[in-house]
Each structure stands twice: as structure tokens, then as C-alpha cells.
Chains A and B, each alone.
Chain A
Amino acid sequence: SAVISQKPSRDICQRGTSLTIQCQVDSQVTMMFWYRQQPGQSLTLIATANQGSEATYESGFVIDKFPISRPNLTFSTLTVSNMSPEDSSIYLCSVGQGVRNGYTFGSGTRLTVV
């Protein structure tokens, strides 16, 4: 399965600032996703990162708040913009290598907004 490097692993940020999270995969993958996991909760899909085109956002998530880049098939970034304490969460990137093989997750970014 693909190996994913996600960074930073954690950060503490001031409200009103932005943080960019990077996800690097060791092989080319078609499907790449960004998830959020709030404390004690399951995974919520933020968006699908599409290579060469705009990301596809889920209901409740907008591009202005969570801009995503996907310049090639091995790399993506998620920016959390104009942060508030409600954005404190774990953010995870995930890649798929065939729906029967399941998806692999990065190690996650634990974000605390103060």
C-alpha cells in the first residue's frame, strides 16, 4: 500500500491565522481525500482533491475556508483559513488504490486553535 507523509504532525495556531497541511505520497494515486476528525468523533470528508482541477467539497465545507491544491498525482495541500477554536481537530489525508483495496490514511495533523 502507499506510504503517506503528512506534515505538520501538530500545531498550535492563533485564531484568525491560516495553516497549510501537506500530504506527500510515495506513488502516483488517482484518489486523494481530506478528512476531519473532531475529538471523540468519526471521520468527516471535507473534499476530494482532484489533480489539475478544483477540489470537490462536501456539504458544509467551502473553498474559501479550506482551499486545496493538487498539483500532481503524489502531492496535495489543505489550508485551514481564518481559523477559529472550532477548527481544532485532527486533519487527515487519505489515498485510494482501488476501492476493493481500501484507502490508506496519513498520520494526521492535530490542530489546536487558541
Chain B
Amino acid sequence: QKEVEQNSGPLSVPEGAIASLNCTYSDRVSQSFFWYRQYSGKSPELIMSIYSNGDKEDGRFTAQLNKASQYVSLLIRDSQPSDSATYLCASYSGAGSYQLTFGKGTKLSVIP
């Protein structure tokens, strides 16, 4: 069974610090990975996708993928109180199905 694991948190960081969110996955053939941000009472919003080993940067966000370790991370630099949300990690494995497998999410609180 495909699983995506995340620490539920809450993860608290001071404003301006780097927030590090981690995710592991069980399906070795997983091809693509996504980070979604979900504010309370809102639907998930895609913020990063990654499918190659290494780092991918977009503004203050950096996604990191290590397929050998089956590990995905999201770094948020210069964290802002507006980054306070639940971050969902998701994987896509292909194999005839287009569905994503989601982790339970990590709740991030950025303290002013």
C-alpha cells in the first residue's frame, strides 16, 4: 500500500527563520511529488512540484528530493506569519492511475 508519511507537528518557527518540512514515501516507483499549502477552512493550494533528484527553488520555497532515500522536503526561507498553514505532501506513482497519495500534513506556525 502506498503511503506518504509526515510529522503532524505543530512545527513552530520564529518569523524570519527557515522552516523545514519533511516527507517520506513508501512506493519506490513514485515519480512526482507535490507540496500543497492549506489554510484553515480553505482548499489545498499547490506551491511546489518536483520530480528530479536534487533541489528546486521558487522564491522563498525550495523542494528537495532524494529518491534513493525516498525522502522529500520543503524549505521555507524567511518564514512569515502568513506561511502559517498545514502543508501536505503528495506523491504520484503512475502505474495506470493518475491519483495522488497524500500525507496527513504538517501544521506550521510562524511566530511573529
Q: Which residues of A contact B (CB under 8 A)?
A: 1, 31, 33, 41-43, 45, 48, 90, 92, 96, 99-108
Give B61-112 interface residues, CB cut-off 8 Å to A: 88, 92, 94, 97-100, 102-105
For chains A and B in complex, what number of residue pairs have CB atoms within 8 angstroms?
47
- 9 A/B residue pairs, CB under 8 Å, sorted by A: A1-B46, A33-B98, A41-B104, A43-B102, A48-B97, A99-B32, A102-B32, A102-B46, A102-B49
Closest to A107 in B: B43
Of B43, B97, B102, B103, most A-chain CB atoms within 10 Å = B43
Q: Which of A42, A45, A90 has the most CB of B within 10 A?
A: A42
Judge if B25 is at the interface, Cβ distance under 8 Å. Answer: no
Q: Is the CB of B43 within 8 A of A31?
A: no
Identify which of A1, A31, A41, A100 gathers the most chain B CB atoms within 10 Å of its CB.
A100
Please report the C-alpha to C-alpha distance between residue A92 and residue B103 in the assembled complex, in whole angstroms. Answer: 16
B92 touches A99 (CB 8 A): yes
**B9 proximity list for chain A (CB < 8 A):** none
B interface residues, Cβ below 8 angstroms from A: 31-32, 34, 42-46, 49, 51, 88, 92, 94, 97-100, 102-105
Contacts of B42 in A (CB 8 A): 107-108
Selected contact of A100 from candidates B51, B99, B103, B105, CB within 8 Å:
B51
Most A CB atoms within 10 A — which of B31, B51, B94, B98? B98
Residue of B nearest to A104 (CB): B46
Hey, which chain A residues are within 8 Å of B51, CB to CB?
Answer: 100
